[in-house]
Amino acid sequence: GAVVSQHPSWVICKSGTSVKIECRSLDFQATTMFWYRQFPKQSLMLMATSNEGSKATYEQGVEKDKFLINHASLTLSTLTVTSAHPEDSSFYICSAETGHDNEQFFGPGTRLTVL
């Protein structure tokens, strides 16, 4: 149980384009999902909390107009990196909370490379 999928697993795009990443909870419903980013040799940093049916909550320093989050259903949240630039190249990981003791399970991550 508690399986989270993410798609795509990797993407290479040109600077200025937009990239959409999907995060799905496969065997449970998640009213709350989270998006994290991890730069090489760094720890994961929370970007935003995605709430089903309402606006996402962004962490300080994360541009909400650049990182668009949509959580349209209890099993799907999407992150769109708009007008991507090379400095956005990173490992983006989503997680979903099962509702048990704040435990979160992570998707396999999406490695984004912006040329």
- Residue whose CB is less far from other proteins, 65 or 101: 101
**Is 63 an interacting residue with respect to other proteins (CB under 8 A)?**
no
- Residue whose CB is less far from other proteins, 7 or 14: 7
**Is 89 an interacting residue with respect to other proteins (CB under 8 A)?**
no
The residue within the footprint of other proteins, chosen from 13, 46, 62, 68 (CB under 8 A), is 46
**Is 42 an interacting residue with respect to other proteins (CB under 8 A)?**
yes
| Cis peptide bond N-terminal to 40, omega within 30 | no
- Which residues, 6 or more positions from 8, have their beta carbon under 8 angstroms from its beta carbon? 21, 110
CA distance 14 to 54: 31
The residue within the footprint of other proteins, chosen from 25, 71, 109, 114 (CB under 8 A), is 109
CA pseudo-torsion sign 80, 94, 50, 42? negative
User: Residue ranges of the alpha helices (H) in 10-102?
Assistant: none
The residue within the footprint of other proteins, chosen from 43, 53, 54, 65 (CB under 8 A), is 43
